[in-house]
Amino acid sequence: MKAWKHFCTITHHKWLVMKGCFKVGLYRQGLFHDMSKYSPAEFLVGCKYFQGNKSPNNAEREAKGYSSAWLHHKGRNKHHLEYWIDYAMPPEKGMTGMRMPDKYVVEMFMDRIAASKVYQKEKYTDRSPLEYYEWGKDNHLLHPETRALLEQLLNMLAEEGEEKTFEYIRQHVLKQQRLH
In a domain, 107, yes or no: yes
In a domain, 23, yes or no: no
The answer to whether the peptide bond before residue 91 is cis (omega within 30 degrees of 0) is: no
Residue 97 sits in which domain range? Answer: 80-179
Task: Concatenate the DSSP letters of all residues of the chain into one string.
Answer: -HHHHHHHHHHHHHHHHHHHHHHHT-HHHHHHTTGGGGSHHHHHHHHHT--SSS-HHHHHHHHHSS-HHHHHHHTT-TTSGGGGEEE-SSGGG-EEEPPPPHHHHHHHHHHHHHHHHHHHGGG--TTHHHHHHHHHGGG----HHHHHHHHHHHHHHHHHHHHHHHHHIIIIIHHHHHH-
Number of domains the chain is built from: 1
How far CA 94 is from CA of 86, 89, 90, 125, 156, in Å, comes to 8, 8, 8, 37, 33
Question: d(Cα 157, Cα 110) in Å, to the nearest integer?
Answer: 11
In a domain, 10, yes or no: no
Note the pLDDT of residue 180: 47
In a domain, 120, yes or no: yes
Which pLDDT tens digit goes with each residue over 105-149?
999 999 999 999 999 999 999 999 999 999 989 999 999 999 999
Which pLDDT tens digit goes with each residue over 5-38?
999 999 999 999 999 999 999 999 999 999 999 9
Which pLDDT tens digit goes with each residue over 71-85?
999 999 999 999 999
Lowest-pLDDT choice from 51-55, 73-77, 171-175: 51-55
In a domain, 15, yes or no: no
In a domain, 123, yes or no: yes
In a domain, 126, yes or no: yes
Question: d(Cα 101, Cα 149) in Å, to the nearest integer?
Answer: 11
pLDDT grade for 178, boundaries at 50, 70 and 90: low
- Residue 177 scores a pLDDT above 90: no
Note the pLDDT of residue 176: 64
In a domain, 93, yes or no: yes
pLDDT grade for 59, boundaries at 50, 70 and 90: very high
pLDDT higher at 94 or 114:
114
